[in-house]
C-alpha cells in the first residue's frame, strides 16, 4: 500500500449502519486500521460499545449512536451526531439489512414490510440525511449495500431481490443527480459469512440458504472492497462492485 493511498482514508469520517455485526463491523475494523474516524450505528448499543472499545484499542477514533434505520428521525440524528462529533461526514455506508427469504405463496407479509423498511427506506433515509451535508462540503461518498440478489432473482428471493434492486436504482439515480463531487458505490456481495442467514425464518428456505452459505467467504472480503472504493482519488468513482465466493455459480 502506498502512503498516498493511506492518506486518502486517514481522518475520513465514516458512518456505518448495521455496524453491530457481519460486514459492517468488519468494515469498521479495516477502516479503523487505516486511520478513519468511525461512527457506528445499529440497534444493539452494547455490541456497538464493545466494537468501539476494540477500535479505540487499535488507536482509532470511534463513536456510537444507537439507531433504528426504519425511523427517519433517528437516521437524521445519526448524521447530526457524526457532524457534531467530527465536524464533517465523508462516507455514508448504508449497510443495515435483513434477508428473511421465503416463497411469495407463504404470505409472510410482516417480513416483506420489514425488508422494505430496513433495506429500502433505511437507505433512502441515509441518503436524505447525509446528502445536504455532503452538498455543503462539496464532497462525499455513499456506499450502499445491494446483493447478488439485486441482480438476479431466485425462488424465495422475490421481495429481498426487489429491495436490493431498489438499492441499485437509488444508487444509480443518486449518482446521476448528485453532481461531480459526490461519489456513489453500489456493492453487491454473494454469500459472505455474517449473521444474515439467521434472519431466514421459513424452514425449507433456511435449509437451502445454509447449504449455499457453506461456501461463504469471510466478511473481510467485503471490507477490503469498501476500502478500495474509498481509497481511490476523489475524481475516481467506483460505481459498482459484485463479489462472490469463487465457488458460487448463481
H helical segments located in the chain: 3-9, 22-33, 45-57, 72-86, 109-115, 122-137, 158-177, 203-212, 220-230
From candidates 14, 42, 52, 60, binder to ligand NDP by CB under 6 A: 42
86 catalytically annotated: no
From candidates 98, 130, 170, 206, binder to ligand NDP by CB under 6 A: 98
From candidates 63, 67, 102, 185, binder to ligand NDP by CB under 6 A: 67
Strand-pair partners of 243: 189
Count of residues touching ligand NDP (by CB under 6 A): 29
Tell me which residue has cell 448495521.
Answer: 18
Those residues with Cβ within 8 angstroms of residue 56's Cβ, 6 or more apart along the chain or in another chain:
62
Rule CB under 6 A: say whether 32 interacts with ligand NDP: no
Q: Which residue in the list 86, 125, 160, 228 is annotated as catalytic? A: 160
- How far apart are the C-alpha atoms of 10 and 90, rounded to whole Å? 11
Look at the alpha carbons of 39, 44, 227, 169 in this order and tell me if their dihedral is positive or negative.
Answer: negative
Q: Tell me which stretch binds ligand NDP (CB under 6 A): 61-69, 83-91, 129-137, 177-185.
A: 61-69
Look at the alpha carbons of 92, 78, 149, 204 in this order and tell me if their dihedral is positive or negative.
Answer: positive
Rule CB under 6 A: say whether 195 interacts with ligand NDP: yes
113-142 positions binding ligand NDP, by CB under 6 A = 118
Question: Where on the chain is the footprint of ligand NDP (CB under 6 A)?
Answer: 17-18, 20-24, 42-44, 47, 67-70, 95-99, 118, 145, 147, 189, 191-192, 194-196
Q: Which residues are marked as active site? A: 160
Amino acid at each position: 500500500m502506498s502512503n498516498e493511498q493511506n492518506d486518502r482514508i486517514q481522518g475520513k469520517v465514516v458512518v456505518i449502519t448495521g455496524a453491530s455485526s457481519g460486514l459492517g463491523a468488519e468494515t469498521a475494523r479495516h477502516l479503523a486500521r487505516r486511520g478513519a474516524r468511525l461512527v457506528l450505528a445499529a440497534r444493539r448499543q452494547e455490541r456497538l460499545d464493545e466494537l468501539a472499545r476494540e477500535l479505540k484499542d487499535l488507536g482509532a477514533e470511534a463513536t456510537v449512536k444507537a439507531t433504528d434505520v426504519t425511523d427517519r428521525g433517528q437516521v437524521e440524528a445519526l448524521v447530526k451526531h457524526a457532524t457534531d462529533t467530527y465536524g464533517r461526514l465523508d462516507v455514508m455506508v448504508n449497510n443495515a439489512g435483513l434477508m428473511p427469504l421465503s416463497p411469495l405463496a407463504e404470505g409472510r407479509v410482516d417480513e416483506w414490510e420489514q425488508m422494505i423498511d430496513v433495506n429500502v427506506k433505511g437507505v433512502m433515509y441515509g441518503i436524505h440525511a447525509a446528502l445536504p451535508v455532503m452538498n455543503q462540503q462539496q464532497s462525499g461518498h455513499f456506499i450502499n449495500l445491494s446483493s447478488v440478489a439485486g441482480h438476479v432473482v431466485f425462488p424465495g428471493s422475490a421481495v429481498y431481490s426487489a429491495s436490493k434492486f431498489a438499492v441499485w436504482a437509488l444508487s444509480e439515480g443518486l449518482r446521476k443527480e448528485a453532481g461531480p463531487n459526490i461519489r456513489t458505490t453500489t456493492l453487491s456481495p454473494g454469500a459472505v459469512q455474517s449473521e444474515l442467514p439467521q434472519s431466514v425464518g421459513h424452514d425449507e428456505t433456511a435449509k437451502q440458504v445454509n447449504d449455499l452459505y457453506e461456501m461463504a467467504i469471510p466478511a473481510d472480503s467485503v471490507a477490503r472492497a469498501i476500502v478500495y472504493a474509498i481509497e481511490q482519488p476523489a475524481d475516481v468513482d467506483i460505481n459498482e462492485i459484485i463479489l462472490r465466493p469463487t465457488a458460487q455459480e448463481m
